[in-house]
Structure 1
């Protein structure tokens, strides 16, 4: 049987919704028809993509590997069929949090001045590669180690780490903090795109508890509510001011590299080299 785009859309809807019922409602189709479409795709690939043994469907290892390929394929088709792409092709710049920190606005303004014919779209995507491996962005601002295969990276700068604590806490009364100061608190960890792990602490002196979150909003809320402390980089304070949060220098943690990353070769956006050049100039000027 010939595979069609509907097979990819069906698989992605099931993967994202977690149940056939919700996926069918999202696609405005019946559950039996959606189940048949999924089976056709699995038969074509010769692998099981979805584990149906639980009420909440889970992707198999093959399903997780196929997910990014399917998402990238659909994103490429949607871009090709977008009428706007016939006149101008926007450059989509993804980031999971904090973008380029205090350099974000200067970069956007410089881009608009120098490249008024190519829109630069800044998109926050809660994903380890900010949507890059899924094809939803053309280039991404990423922090820490970039382990996704097949990506080209360029280092822009290294950001100092900052402690983030509830305002009014004893920690907020200090001018600067250390990892040991934070260890008595639960630590909020962004497990999707964060750069903080318990490996920052010595094995014998790690925090006893963590609170796992999946995005910046959840992370900020956990700290503001007094449930946890956190660690971020110097890019965050200027973008996320909050009356219930205090930022303090963290004196004994290594800096975090900030990189631009993209997928090489066709169909890479032709304006990526210009973005790399301009981002480096903006950072250097500061």
Structure 2
């Protein structure tokens, strides 16, 4: 049997809906036809993808592993057949927050100059892999330690110092530099989706007692600006999210954050190798940023 796009769409619909009934309605097919399509896909792969032992269907371990691959394949076909993209094929660069900080705009401009026939599309995706897992992007900016599949290649572009983010009217802004210990008096804003700062930064016997969990950088900034919480981030956030109600202050004695580019092998776009080589060359030529040296000063907008 030859696997067709409808087999992948069927599996993805069932995974998203959790029931055959919901998935059949979503795809406008009958339930028996959808069940038959799923069985054909499982027979081809030689693995059970959906656990049917409960009323609400669950993915098996094989199903969880197959889901991002199926999503990437469907997205790639949809992109290729999109009439609006005829004649152009944008190279999609994903990021969960801050992209490449102060280097983002210069990099995009230089790419446009050197590769005018390949548009570089910057996409923010609130996801730990910045859309790479689901095939939404061709290359992703990844910060910190992220679990990536074996077929994903990475290269380190730079290392970003961490900074504290506090309300601009906080008494903490009287200091030129802060320590993690000085932040424990307030709840810590934690981006649970794609953030690099967790309570693991603090010693176990001196960790904050309270957190404010958010799902994206906008909500993280809002919590800090309101004085509800303080946060730990990198210098890229200070460059990408200046806010008159937020001050960014250097943090002492905390590890820097590696910033990587990640892409699938084989690449989903023919220009991926060009972008990797270009980004490495571009970053190597950049002088040390003011935000990345000991002389970093708090920014308030």
Question: Which bin holds the TM-score, normalised by the shorter protein?
Answer: 0.7 to 0.9
Other-structure match for 1:97: 97
Shift of the 244–18 alpha-carbon distance from structure 1 to 2, 3 Å rule, reads farther
Other-structure match for 2:193: 192
Residue pair 1:126, 1:214 contacting (<8 A) in 2 also: yes
TM, length-normalised to structure 2: 0.80
Other-structure match for 2:253: 252
Farther off after superposition, 273-282 or 106-115: 273-282
Shift of the 169–24 alpha-carbon distance from structure 1 to 2, 3 Å rule, reads farther
Other-structure match for 2:82: 82
Farther off after superposition, 172-181 or 85-94: 85-94
1:118-137 alignment runs, 5 A limit: 118-137=118-137
Residue pair 2:164, 2:233 contacting (<8 A) in 1 also: yes
How far, CA to CA, are the matches of 1:138 and 1:194 in structure 2? 21
What are the Cα deviations for residues 223-277 of structure 1, in whole angstroms up to 9, with x where unaligned? 2233221111100112112233221111221110111111233x44332232223
The CA RMSD measured in Å over matched residues stands at 3.0
- Structure 1 residue 61 displacement after superposition: 3.7
Other-structure match for 1:153: 154
Shift of the 213–17 alpha-carbon distance from structure 1 to 2, 3 Å rule, reads farther
SS in 2 for 1:153: strand
- Structure 1 residue 69 displacement after superposition: 1.6
- Structure 1 residue 88 displacement after superposition: 3.3
How far, CA to CA, are the matches of 1:165 and 1:17 in structure 2? 41
SS in 1 for 2:276: helix
SS in 1 for 2:108: helix
How far, CA to CA, are the matches of 1:216 and 1:54 in structure 2? 37
Other-structure match for 1:279: 279
State whether structure 2 residue 125 is matched by structure 1 residue 141: no
Other-structure match for 1:225: 226
SS in 2 for 1:236: helix
Residue pair 2:10, 2:38 contacting (<8 A) in 1 also: no
- Structure 1 residue 205 displacement after superposition: 0.8
List alignment gaps of at least 5 residues for structure 1: none
How far, CA to CA, are the matches of 1:159 and 1:51 in structure 2? 46
Shift of the 167–34 alpha-carbon distance from structure 1 to 2, 3 Å rule, reads farther
Shift of the 218–29 alpha-carbon distance from structure 1 to 2, 3 Å rule, reads farther
- Structure 1 residue 108 displacement after superposition: 0.6
Shift of the 50–241 alpha-carbon distance from structure 1 to 2, 3 Å rule, reads farther
How far, CA to CA, are the matches of 1:129 and 1:141 in structure 2? 8
Residue pair 1:7, 1:37 contacting (<8 A) in 2 also: no
TM, length-normalised to structure 1: 0.84
What are the Cα deviations for residues 10-52 of structure 1, in whole angstroms up to 9, with x where unaligned? 4434544667787667x36379579747864786465253678
SS in 2 for 1:155: strand
Alignment length (residue pairs): 283
Other-structure match for 1:5: 5
SS in 2 for 1:217: helix
List alignment gaps of at least 5 residues for structure 2: 288-301
How far, CA to CA, are the matches of 2:218 and 2:20 in structure 1? 29
Residue pair 2:177, 2:251 contacting (<8 A) in 1 also: yes
How far, CA to CA, are the matches of 2:18 and 2:188 in structure 1? 29
Residue pair 2:139, 2:263 contacting (<8 A) in 1 also: yes
Other-structure match for 1:215: 216
- Structure 1 residue 98 displacement after superposition: 0.7
Residue pair 1:10, 1:37 contacting (<8 A) in 2 also: no
- Structure 1 residue 170 displacement after superposition: 2.4
What are the Cα deviations for residues 143-181 of structure 1, in whole angstroms up to 9, with x where unaligned? 112431222211111111011122322223332211101
